[in-house]
A = this chain, B = another copy of it.
Amino acid sequence: MGPAATVDLMAKVIALTPAARDQDHVPLVVWSIPQIAERVPAVEGRGPSPLAMMLEGVRALEAAQCSAFAIACNTAHHWAGELAAATRIPLLHIADAAVAAVLRQAVRPRRIALLGTRGTIRSGFYQMRLDEAKLPWSTAADTGAEATAGIEAAIDAVKRNRLAEARQAFAPAARRLLDSGCDLLLLACTELPMASAGSGLEAQCLDTNHALAEAIVNHSLAGRSPTAGAPVGRHLS
Contact present for B27 and A30 (CB under 8 Å): no
Q: Which single residue of chain B is at the shortest CB-CB distance from A73?
A: B22
Q: Which of B10, B31, B36, B38 contacts A7 (CB 8 A)?
A: B10
**Total count of chain A residues near the partner, CB < 8 A:** 38
Contact present for A159 and B60 (CB under 8 Å): no
Indicate with 1 or 0, residue by residue over A63-79, a CB within 8 angstroms of chain B CB atoms: 11000000000000000
A19, A31, A35: most-surrounded residue (chain B CB, <10 A): A35
A20, A33, A231: most-surrounded residue (chain B CB, <10 A): A33
Q: Can you report 29 A-B residue pairs in the complex whose CB atoms are below 8 A from each other?
A: A2-B22, A2-B25, A3-B10, A3-B13, A4-B14, A7-B7, A7-B14, A10-B10, A10-B32, A21-B159, A21-B160, A22-B38, A22-B159, A23-B34, A23-B36, A24-B34, A25-B34, A27-B32, A27-B34, A27-B35, A29-B29, A29-B30, A29-B31, A29-B60, A30-B30, A30-B32, A35-B229, A60-B64, A63-B63
Task: Give residues 8-56 of A contacting B (CB, 8 Å).
Answer: 10-11, 13-14, 19-36, 38
Task: Give residues 62-120 of A contacting B (CB, 8 Å).
Answer: 63-64
Residue A209, interface by CB 8 Å: no
Q: Which of B13, B26, B27, B32 contacts A28 (CB 8 A)?
A: B32
Residue A196, interface by CB 8 Å: no
Q: Which residues of B contact A6 (CB under 8 A)?
A: 10
Q: Which of B10, B161, B228 contacts A35 (CB 8 A)?
A: B228
Give the distance in Å from the alpha carbon of A207 to the alpha carbon of B4 in the complex. Answer: 21
Residue A154, interface by CB 8 Å: no
Residue A130, interface by CB 8 Å: no
Contact present for A14 and B25 (CB under 8 Å): no
Give the distance in Å from the alpha carbon of A24 to the alpha carbon of B36 in the complex. Answer: 10
For the complex formed, measure the closest distance between the CB of A22 and the CB atoms of chain B, giving whole angstroms.
4
Q: Which single residue of chain B is at the shortest CB-CB distance from A27?
A: B33
